């Protein structure tokens, strides 16, 4: 079984609070992907909502409360201000993962420490969204990035069977965008660096190849939750369907693009199978 260890949030957007965070968006994406999974998050409004999807998700609560963000959207991008932080109780998690060969870890602002990854990923395939490990609180709760923390994260993935790091361009050091293959070798992980709606880069250590990929065009909407939907689809098609890294990334990109429509369901498995072929894939380099 695939396990997800994810933060829950309440997001204040335009003066209104709504459920959010990786647990919410990944959980819903798994429902639409027709994938049963174990999902570990804090006891919160999100966990109560996800429990009502019990036919699709096995929800385990570890910790109490949710992280709260105030989100401002400007020109297709977003600014975050932290109003409250929560923590996942990591001591309660490893025992629930005994039957899980693969794990997706996605936090938002320090709900886990990098060293917690050792117990969660040892002996497993691991997909880690770096956002929650490289974000820090700046003045007045503003959320800023310290990309070099990525190097701290990978130190704690050395006992995993296979590791993949995913994040936005600003969440990785600049040299990782300039030379993703070299970066993946230094990190000891496959690397996927997305860049909003622009072309993104996929570095596969297994094949020694770098790919540049072009998302679907002509779909517009609110950018909240797209990265979480991307990682959800990536985990399914990489760890469950056993697609290659670029093929799984194409499915993930199509899922994130369709989420922009923001109508439920965001997508169907059939839609993804059709539209993923329209995601541009160009092999740039092999070493």
Residue given tokens 């999902």 in the structure block: 39
Q: What is the DSSP pairing of strand 280-286 with strand 209-214?
A: antiparallel
Instruction: Give pLDDT < 50 ranges for the chain.
Output: none
pLDDT in tens, 149-201: 999 999 999 999 999 999 999 999 999 999 999 999 999 999 999 999 999 99
In percent, the amount of the chain with pLDDT more than 70 equals 99
pLDDT of residue 92: 87
Full residue range of the structural domain in which residue 198 is found: 2-286
Neighbouring C-alpha atoms within 13 Å toward the C-beta of 149:
20
Per-residue confidence (pLDDT) for residue 74, from 0 to 100? 77
> CA 253: distance to chain centroid?
12
Q: Could you give the angle at the alpha carbon of 127 between the alpha carbons of 130 and 89, nearest 5°?
A: 70
Domain count of the chain?
A: 1
Task: Give the H or E element holding residue 43.
Answer: strand 37-43
pTM of the full structure: 0.96
Spatial neighbors of 266 by CB under 8 A, at least 6 apart, are 28, 29, 32, 229, 255, 258, 259
Structure tokens of 183?
């970066």
* Rounded Cα–Cα distance for residues 225 and 24 (Å): 9
Nearest to 89 by CA among 67, 113, 69: 113
Q: Residue 52: give its domain's CATH number.
A: 3.40.1190.20
- Which helix (H) or strand (E) segment is 199 a member of? strand 198-204
The predicted structure's pLDDT at residue 285: 77
C-alpha separations of 13 from 72, 131, 172, 229 in Å: 7, 20, 26, 19
């Amino acid at each position: 079984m695939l396990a997800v260890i994810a933060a829950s949030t309440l997001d204040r957007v335009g003066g209104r609070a709504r459920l959010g965070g990786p647990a919410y968006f990944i959980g819903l994406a798994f429902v639409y992907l027709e994938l049963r999974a174990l999902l570990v998050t804090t006891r919160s409004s999100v966990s109560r909502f996800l429990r009502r999807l019990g036919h699709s998700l096995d929800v385990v609560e570890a910790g109490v409360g949710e992280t709260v963000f105030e989100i401002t959207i400007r020109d297709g991008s977003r600014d975050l201000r932290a109003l409250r932080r929560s923590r996942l109780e990591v001591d309660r998690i490893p025992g629930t993962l005994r039957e899980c060969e693969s794990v997706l870890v996605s936090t938002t602002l320090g709900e886990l420490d990098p060293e917690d990854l050792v117990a969660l990923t040892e002996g497993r395939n691991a997909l880690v969204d770096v956002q929650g490990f490289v974000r820090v609180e700046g003045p007045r709760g503003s959320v800023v990035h310290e990309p070099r923390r990525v190097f701290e994260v990978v130190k704690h993935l050395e006992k995993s069977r296979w590791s993949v790091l995913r994040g936005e361009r600003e969440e990785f050091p600049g040299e990782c965008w300039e030379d993703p293959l070299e970066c993946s070798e230094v990190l000891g992980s496959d690397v996927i660096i997305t860049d909003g709606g622009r072309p993104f880069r996929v570095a596969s250590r297994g094949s020694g190849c770098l790919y540049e990929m072009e998302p679907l065009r002509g779909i517009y909407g609110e950018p909240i939750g797209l990265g979480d939907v991307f990682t959800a689809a990536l985990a399914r098609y990489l760890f469950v369907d056993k697609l290659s890294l670029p093929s799984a990334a194409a499915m993930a990109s199509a899922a994130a693009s369709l989420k922009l429509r923001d109508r439920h369901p965001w997508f169907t498995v059939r839609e993804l199978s059709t539209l993923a072929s329209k995601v541009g894939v160009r092999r740039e380099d092999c070493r």
